[in-house]
């Protein structure tokens, strides 16, 4: 070996291969240089990787406790939706048009955490009349923070409202996603060999079956899940029907307790086995399986009239009333009926509550209440325009 060649070998950057954590870099002259990541510089002191992992996990803990707001897709945030989908699913949906995304209505939501867009979901009704999850995803740095669960729970709630089974496809190599959906009640019905355009092309077809005969459903306290987080306790609404009242003694007992507590002296002789006959629409609100409020509506004078609505005092201002009222409004929208109710003249808190939800004063009756006689305002929310 000549002296000149020996000098070149001597100056050649040394390569380290003792650790799987080695990183490739380049010096100022473009030569490849390998650096070995230290496992721990001093005994008992965490390595760089351990410090980074600790910081990431701390951030995730903070995010899990942060409220997740689901916002509607409109013309102002369509490009936010496009950026999210292009980032979460690079090269998969980049050619899709977004000019009509603002027309998705309830079939699309953007998830915001601390004001930052972090995820999205888009659904559609497929050819088999199922609610199909077309896109659902969270930015990589915000995964494992409960945001995906909030998005999926929104879709499940939507499926329960419109009484549609929920379906989606999961790429064959995405095992963690498949486990996530199975934990949330989805089951695999078939395997499609050639579903995706890029490898791997196989996909699992998963379905969550939604009961069409009453039962339980989870809703938020204010329409679009503001304040919902992975750690929060959702409000559960139980439908009051002839079938589930007669079958479930628990439902009948819950309704009896609520009505006799909130309206003492009014239902002492009522037969709660026929509770479903009180109105055309009834829901019991529960938190942690405990009944905390209820609403009863009936058709009257061509409208949906709220006969009774009440929440236990200790659960007021917790979104329970909003959840019950929103569900009644959704029902009125389905049956295409305006909504009415009476509010005591002196109950300014209730008046402000209904006004916040779009009700307006349309009349007054001086002797609506008895023992003692009290006046009441008639409030109306227009559904049919």
- Tokens coding 220: 């938020």
- Contact indicator for 338, 383 with CB cutoff of 8 Å: yes
34 is catalytic: no
- Contact indicator for 28, 46 with CB cutoff of 8 Å: no
CA dihedral of residues 152, 158, 163, 168 (deg, nearest 10): -40
169 is catalytic: yes
- Contact indicator for 252, 238 with CB cutoff of 8 Å: no
Catalytic, out of 34, 93, 102, 169: 169
Q: Which of 171, 180, 181, 179 is nearest to 204 (CA)?
A: 171
d(CA 265, CA 84): 56
Catalytic, out of 132, 331, 354, 379: 132
Q: Catalytic residue positions?
A: 132, 169
């Amino acid at each position: 070996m000549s002296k000149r060649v020996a000098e070149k070998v001597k100056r050649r950057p040394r390569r380290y291969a003792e650790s799987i954590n080695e990183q490739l870099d380049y010096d100022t002259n473009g030569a490849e240089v390998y650096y070995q990541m230290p496992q721990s510089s001093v005994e008992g002191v965490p390595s760089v990787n351990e410090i980074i992992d600790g910081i990431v996990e701390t951030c995730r803990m903070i995010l899990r406790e942060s409220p997740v707001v689901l916002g509607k897709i409109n013309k102002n945030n369509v490009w936010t939706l496009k950026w999210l989908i292009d980032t979460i699913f690079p090269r998969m949906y980049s050619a899709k048009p977004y000019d009509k995304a603002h027309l998705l209505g309830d079939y699309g939501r953007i998830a915001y955490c601390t004001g930052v867009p972090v995820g999205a979901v888009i659904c559609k009704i497929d050819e088999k009349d199922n609610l199909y999850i077309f896109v659902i995803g969270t930015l990589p740095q915000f995964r494992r923070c409960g945001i995906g669960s909030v998005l999926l729970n929104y879709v499940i709630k939507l499926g329960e409202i419109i009484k549609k089974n929920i379906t989606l496809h999961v790429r064959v190599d995405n095992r963690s996603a498949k486990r996530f959906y199975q934990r949330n009640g989805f089951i695999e019905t078939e395997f499609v060999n050639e579903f995706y355009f890029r490898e791997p092309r196989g996909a699992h077809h998963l379905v969550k079956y939604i009961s069409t005969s009453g039962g339980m459903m989870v809703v938020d306290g204010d329409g679009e899940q503001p304040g919902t987080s992975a750690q929060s306790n959702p409000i559960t609404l139980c439908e009051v029907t002839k079938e589930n009242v007669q079958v479930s003694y628990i439902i009948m007992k819950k309704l009896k307790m609520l009505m006799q507590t909130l309206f003492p002296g009014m239902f002492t002789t009522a037969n709660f086995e026929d509770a479903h006959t009180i109105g055309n629409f009834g829901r019991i609100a529960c938190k942690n399986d405990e009944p905390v409020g209820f609403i009863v509506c009936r058709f009257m004078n061509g409208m949906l009239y709220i006969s009774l609505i009440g929440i236990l005092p200790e659960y007021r201002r917790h979104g329970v009333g909003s959840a019950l009222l929103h569900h009644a409004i959704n029902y009125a929208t389905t049956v295409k009926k305006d909504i009415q109710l009476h509010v005591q003249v002196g109950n300014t808190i209730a008046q402000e509550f209904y006004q916040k939800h779009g009700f307006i004063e349309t009349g007054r009756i001086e002797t609506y209440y008895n023992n003692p006689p009290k006046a009441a305002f008639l409030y109306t929310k227009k559904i049919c325009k």
